[in-house]
Amino acid sequence: MNDQTLIADLRAQLAAQQAAHLYRRRRIQDAPAQPHGSSDGRSVLSFCSNDYLGLANHPDVIAALQHGAARWGVGSGAAHLVNGHTAAHHALEEALAEFTGQPRVLLFSTGYMANLGVITALTGRGDTLFQDRLNHASLLDGAQLSRATLRRYPHCNTNELNQLIAKDPPQLIATDGVFSMDGDLAPLPALMQIARDAGAWLLIDDAHGFGVLGRGGRGSLHHFGLSADETTVVMGTLGKAFGTFGAFVAGAEEVIETLIQRARSYIFTTAMPPALAEATRVSLRLAEREDWRREQLQTLIARFRHGAAQLDLPLANSFTPIQPLLVGTAELALAWSQQLETVGILVSAIRPPTVPAGTARLRITLSAAHSETDVDRLLTALAAIQLPPD
C-alpha cells in the first residue's frame, strides 16, 4: 500500500461517517464555560457544559489558580513518583479524603486515566469483570487494557447480573454512579451487596455525582445513605461539578498503595499543575458549603421537567442535571440541535457510538449558573421545533 492509498482510505471512511450523520465537529468557543457565552462569533445560551455548580469561572477559583501559579509555577515538571508530587497535590488529596470519608485519595491527571489505572491495577488476564452496558467509554477501555474478560450486563439490571455472576464469578464490578448520557443512577445498594457476596471489587465512577448529589455534594453513595466499605473504590472527576480539571480515586489504604505501585496511567504521566490543585481545593470548599447551588439546580431541573412534560417531549427518567431528550436517530438528533442553534441555543446531539444505535439524543445539562428565564427560553425554543419531513 502506498501513501496515496492510505489517505484515500481515510477519506472514504470520513465520507461514510458523514453520510451516516455521525461526523463530529468542534465549535470554537470564545468565552469561558458559562451559560451565556459566545461561540463561532455569536452570542449563545448553552446547555452543554458539565460545570453543574457554576464553579469553572468563579472568581475565588480563578484567584487560587493565579496565586498557585505565582507560588508553584505552571508545570509540575515530572510524574508524581519522580518529583512532581508537591505539597499542593498532597493537600488536595487530604481534603478529598476528608470530603469523601474514604481512608485515602490519589490524584490522577484525568478521569479517563483514573479508570484505566484502577481497572488495570486490580484485574488482569484470567479474571472476569462485569460492567453496566451503558458505562462510560473509559471504564470499557480500561477493561480492554487489563486483558481480563469483560462481560456487560443490561443497564442497571441486577437480576441479570446475579445470574451471570453465578456462572462466572468476577474480580471486579464497575458502574457509573450517575450515567453520563442518561442521567439516571446506578442501583448502588444492590450492587454493593452483589459485589460483597461475590467477593469482588466495586468500582463506582461518580464523575456526575460528586458535587451534585448527597449532603454537601458527597456523591451517589451518600445519596443512597451508603458508605464505602473496604472493597469499594470510587472515582471522581474534577473537571465537572468542581469546575477545574483532573480526577481522583478514593479507597482503602491498600488500594491506593497498589495504584501507586501498579497503575501505569498514574506512573507514566506528568502530575497535574500544582496551581490546579490549589484552585481545586478552593472549588471543593465552595461546592461543599454553598448548598444554594444544589438547591438552584433542583429548582431548574423541576422547572425543565415540568415544562418538557407539558410539551410531551421525550424526557428520560432522570432527576439529575443531565436531562436527555431521546429523539431516536442520529439524523433527528442533529436536526433538533441545529434548529436550536439557529435561535442561539447550544445543546449537544449525542449519537452512536457514544450511545447505542437508535437512542440518539439531545443531551441537555443544567447548571446552577442558569436562571429560570434561561430554562424557559430553552422550553420555548423546544416547543417551536419543526422537524424536517421524512
Enzyme catalytic residues: 180, 208, 240
Closer residue to ligand PLP, CB minimum distance, 132 or 374: 132
CB 348 within 8 A of CB 48: yes
CA dihedral for 218, 350, 266, 284, sign (positive or negative): negative
- Name residues whose C-beta falls within 8 Å of residue 168's C-beta, 6 or more positions apart in sequence: 128, 149, 151
Closer residue to ligand PLP, CB minimum distance, 123 or 131: 131
Residue 367 labelled as part of a binding site? no
CB of 166 to ligand PLP, least distance (A): 28
Task: Please tell me the total number of residues recorded for the chain in this structure.
Answer: 390
Closer residue to ligand PLP, CB minimum distance, 138 or 320: 138
CB of 343 to ligand PLP, least distance (A): 28
Residue 158 labelled as part of a binding site? no
Residue 237 labelled as part of a binding site? yes
DSSP codes, 235-254: EEESSSTT-S--EEEEE-HH
The CA–CA distances, whole Å, from 198 to 47, 168, 224, 353 equal 41, 10, 21, 31
CA dist., res. 64 & res. 59, Å (int): 9
Look at phi and psi of residue 385 and say left if phi exceeds 0, alpha if psi is from -120 to 50, else beta. Answer: beta
Closer residue to ligand PLP, CB minimum distance, 50 or 296: 50
Closer residue to ligand PLP, CB minimum distance, 122 or 247: 247
Interface residues with ligand PLP (CB under 6 A) are 110-112, 115, 136, 138, 176, 180, 205, 207-208, 237, 239, 247
Closer residue to ligand PLP, CB minimum distance, 242 or 304: 242
DSSP codes, 256-306: HHHHHHH-HHHHTSBPPPHHHHHHHHHHHHHHHH-HHHHHHHHHHHHHHHH
Closer residue to ligand PLP, CB minimum distance, 207 or 382: 207
Q: Is 153 exposed, middle or buried (0-12, 13-18, 19+ CB in 10 A)?
A: buried
CB 367 within 8 A of CB 325: no
Stated as kind and residue range, the H or E segment containing 173 is: strand 172-176
CB of 205 to ligand PLP, least distance (A): 5
Residue 120 labelled as part of a binding site? no
Cell of 263: 497503575
Cell of 282: 478552593
**Cα dihedral value 105, 107, 111, 117, nearest 10:** -80
Residue nearest to ligand PLP (CB): 111
Residue 180 labelled as part of a binding site? yes
Residue 112 labelled as part of a binding site? yes
Residue 52 labelled as part of a binding site? no
Residue type at 257 in one-letter notation: E
Cell of 308: 418538557
CB of 381 to ligand PLP, least distance (A): 26
CB of 290 to ligand PLP, least distance (A): 22
CB of 240 to ligand PLP, least distance (A): 6
CB 77 within 8 A of CB 274: no
Residue 153 labelled as part of a binding site? no
CA dist., res. 101 & res. 186, Å (int): 20
Binding residue ranges for substrate: 24, 136, 354
Binding residue ranges: 24, 111-112, 136, 180, 208, 237, 354
